[in-house]
């Protein structure tokens, strides 16, 4: 007999998935302890669990999985083969439809690109506080992408509007926004993407409390302080409209002590000891919950609680470190809504982490 933890390890299904399939009547344990409620599985159930895991990875609906498992146990190979073939046809049709839609989207993108001017002819010179710009870059640099397939995300957006400079970085799974006050710019909004190496060089130049000059001339950007300068080419891409991504649903807000929370995340449980894949890199999940009295806990497991949010643990640690404060505010929406990490002294500097969908 295998415990539920051993079954999860050997089959490739998570503990919560095994509980879900038990409740759905798909893979019922051979024996459940009447006192503790702990589930135990027979040796012959391992093959069924592995088959179930493969079918779920292939996206087969639960109703069909039930029939496949029934046919498998009764050795009705004809039924199993027909169900597999029918699902494969559905996948092929879905892929064909997706290709057609993407072809249409590419054509729309080409028309949109032709209607936009890619030339940057504006010349902007403004003054910005060196400490504020340094703090803004420190708050966002961790979120910049290194994916060569998405070069428009391979830097830090400098968004200049009025007397405000917003710096933004995102790799799709997380986004960070920083802010610095400026003087000397009263023209329309200007945006440039500063490549990550150039942004790092700018940060190294910001070593004192002086005001520095930020200069944008066409497709070049420079940071000047005294007799020193760092300059280079902007990325010739358009950054996503990050403001659209900031419209988060209302939820719970919790004040955390950063040091205690960091220790809880670093030493706390990892989601069912699972490792997920994201851009080919393995990572662990931390599952968080905020209670009614505003206490955030790192959960051991999930029992279909809508207040649970699962996030990349490494990304979470990066975000709270970038907050650079003794206390931060965590803002929770629904389980599928992004988690926001905000400073207590300003609403203009914050990070957002995309949640990871928990499989049942």
What is the pLDDT at residue 108?
81
What is the pLDDT at residue 278?
52
What is the pLDDT at residue 113?
57
Q: DSSP 3-state assignment of 163?
A: coil
pLDDT tens per residue across span 281-299: 667 888 888 877 778 888 8
What is the pLDDT at residue 118?
38
In this prediction the pTM is 0.68
What is the pLDDT at residue 306?
63
Exposed, middle or buried by CB within 10 Å (0-12, 13-18, 19+), for 96?
exposed
Low-confidence spans in the chain with pLDDT less than 50: 115-120, 273-274
pLDDT tens per residue across span 162-212: 888 999 999 989 999 999 989 887 777 888 999 999 999 999 999 777 789
Angle in degrees, CA 227, 231, 236, rounded to 5 = 165
What is the pLDDT at residue 310?
85
Report the C-alpha gap between 89 and 82 in whole angstroms. 11
What is the pLDDT at residue 273?
43
Going along the chain from its start, the domains and CATH numbers come out as: 2-87 (1.10.1660.10), 123-243 (3.10.150.10), 248-353 (3.10.150.10)
Spatial contact of 126 and 158, defined as CB atoms under 8 Å apart: no
Q: Phi-psi category of 225—alpha, beta or left, where left has phi over 0 and alpha has psi -120 to 50?
A: beta
């Amino acid at each position: 007999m295998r415990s539920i933890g051993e079954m999860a390890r050997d089959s490739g299904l998570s503990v919560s998935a095994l509980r879900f399939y038990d409740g759905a009547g798909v893979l019922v344990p051979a024996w459940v302890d009447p006192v503790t409620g702990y589930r135990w599985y027979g040796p012959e159930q391992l093959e069924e669990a592995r088959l179930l895991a493969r079918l779920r990875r292939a996206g087969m609906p639960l109703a069909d999985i039930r029939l496949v498992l029934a046919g498998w146990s009764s050795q009705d190979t004809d039924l199993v083969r027909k169900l597999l073939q029918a699902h494969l046809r559905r996948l092929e049709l879905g892929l064909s439809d997706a290709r057609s839609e993407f072809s249409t989207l590419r054509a729309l993108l080409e028309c949109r690109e032709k209607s936009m001017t890619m030339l940057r002819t504006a010349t902007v010179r403004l003054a910005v506080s060196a400490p504020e710009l340094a703090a803004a870059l420190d708050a966002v640099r961790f979120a910049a992408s290194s994916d060569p397939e998405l070069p428009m995300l391979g830097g830090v957006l400098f968004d200049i509007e009025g007397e405000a400079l917003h710096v933004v970085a995102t790799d799709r799974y997380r986004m960070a926004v920083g802010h610095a006050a400026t003087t000397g710019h009263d023209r329309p909004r200007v945006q440039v993407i500063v490549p990550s190496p150039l942004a790092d060089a700018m940060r190294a130049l910001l070593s004192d409390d002086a005001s520095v000059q930020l200069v944008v001339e066409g497709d070049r950007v420079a940071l000047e302080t005294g007799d020193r300068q760092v300059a280079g080419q902007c990325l010739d891409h358009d950054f996503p409209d990050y403001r659209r991504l900031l419209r988060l649903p209302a939820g719970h807000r919790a004040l955390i002590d950063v040091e205690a929370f960091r220790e809880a995340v670093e030493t706390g449980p990892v989601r069912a000891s699972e490792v997920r894949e994201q851009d080919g890199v393995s990572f662990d999940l931390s599952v968080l919950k905020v209670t009614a009295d505003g206490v955030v806990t790192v959960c051991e497991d999930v029992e279909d609680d809508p207040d649970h949010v699962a996030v990349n643990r490494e990304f979470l640690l990066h975000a709270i470190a970038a907050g650079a404060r003794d206390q931060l505010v965590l803002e929770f929406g629904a389980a599928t809504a992004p988690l926001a990490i905000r400073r207590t002294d300003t609403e203009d500097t914050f990070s957002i982490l995309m949640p990871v969908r928990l499989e049942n």
